[in-house]
Amino acid sequence: MIQFAANLSMLFGEVPFLNRFKEAKASGFEGVEFLFPYDYSKVQLREKLDEAQLTQVLFNLPPGNWEKGERGIAALPGRESEFQHSVELALEYAEYLGCKRLHVMAGVCPEGEQIEQCFEVYLGNLAYACGQANSAGVTLLIEPINTRAFPGYLLSHQAQARKVIDHLAQPNLKLQMDLYHAQIMEGDLTTLIRHQIDYVGHIQVAGIPDRFEPSGGEVDYNWIFSELSQSSYDGWIGCEYNPKVETKAGLGWLESARNHFS
């Protein structure tokens, strides 16, 4: 059955990060996701999950130097050995936290590098990572991200991701379909969902254009949730949005969203 996960990098920012787990549970979430766990020990995080009885649904591989503008290293030529270490670290956390999904960020193709070469490195790194993750029972996800947010990001369209997944033909490589990015880059969300739901290993939602709650803005999420409820997808939906005012005050949309899946 489809369930909703709170993205703790964005929700419950009113309290310190480690307190957000119990806030998520108290607000009715059964699972959590966030961008990166690496500022905390895996033991600290496990404790928080256990205390609140939450499932760790997803997090990302280390992204490289975020402060310097790096947004993943999977497609960066010359960074292959760093990438392999990042896979090892992420899998260590994933196994300890019981997390079955990891998002591998492609990265921004560096100036002076050919896109084709970045793609070649990306494919090689993904194939390596899939092998490592498979033995740990972990699915890797690739997410097309809008280039307004991350200019030059290598993977920005759903069809590109499908091609990568088809090309590599790995059983544990899936699409992270973030409907916020998909609407900005492509629109036509219903058709995208109908055409590629079999590729999808995780979904994320936010209102468009402001990345607020998925209840206002240009996309009718009641329509989208109804569409998803009729599809074969039965995984998690990550609530990856910035609360417009305050997290709890803005959670009214969730009850009616859940009604689509009950």
Ligand X SMILES: O=C(O)[C@@H](O)C(=O)CO
Report the catalytic residues: 143, 240
Query: What does DSSP say about strands 236-239 and 3-7: parallel, antiparallel, or unpaired?
Result: parallel
Q: With contacts defined by CB under 5 A, name the span among 72-80, 130-138, 146-154, 198-206 that binds Mg ion.
A: 198-206
> Which among Mg ion, ligand X, none contacts residue 52 (Cβ within 5 to 8 A by kind)?
none
Contact 33, 60 (CB under 8 A): no
Which residues from 211-250 bind ligand X, rule CB under 6 A? Answer: 240
Nearer to ligand X, 40 or 50 (CB): 40
One character per residue 92-121, x = contact with ligand X (rule: CB under 6 A): -----------x------------------
CB of 241 to ligand X, least distance (A): 10
Which residues from 182-201 bind ligand X, rule CB under 6 A? Answer: none
State whether residue 60 is helix, strand or coil: strand
Residue 214 phi/psi, 5° resolution?
Answer: -80, 55
Quote the CA–CA distance of 154 and 71 in Å, as a whole number: 10
The CA-to-CA distance between both ends of the chain, in Å, stands at: 8
- 146 near Mg ion, rule: CB under 5 A: no
Which residues from 218-257 bind Mg ion, rule CB under 5 A? Answer: 240
Nearer to Mg ion, 55 or 60 (CB): 60
CA 201, 206, 207, 210 torsion-angle sign: negative
Q: Which residue is nearest to ligand X (CB)?
A: 178
| Residues facing 254 on adjacent strands | none
Which pair of structure tokens corresponds to residue 181?
């990015």
Binding site for Mg ion (CB under 5 A): 178, 204, 240
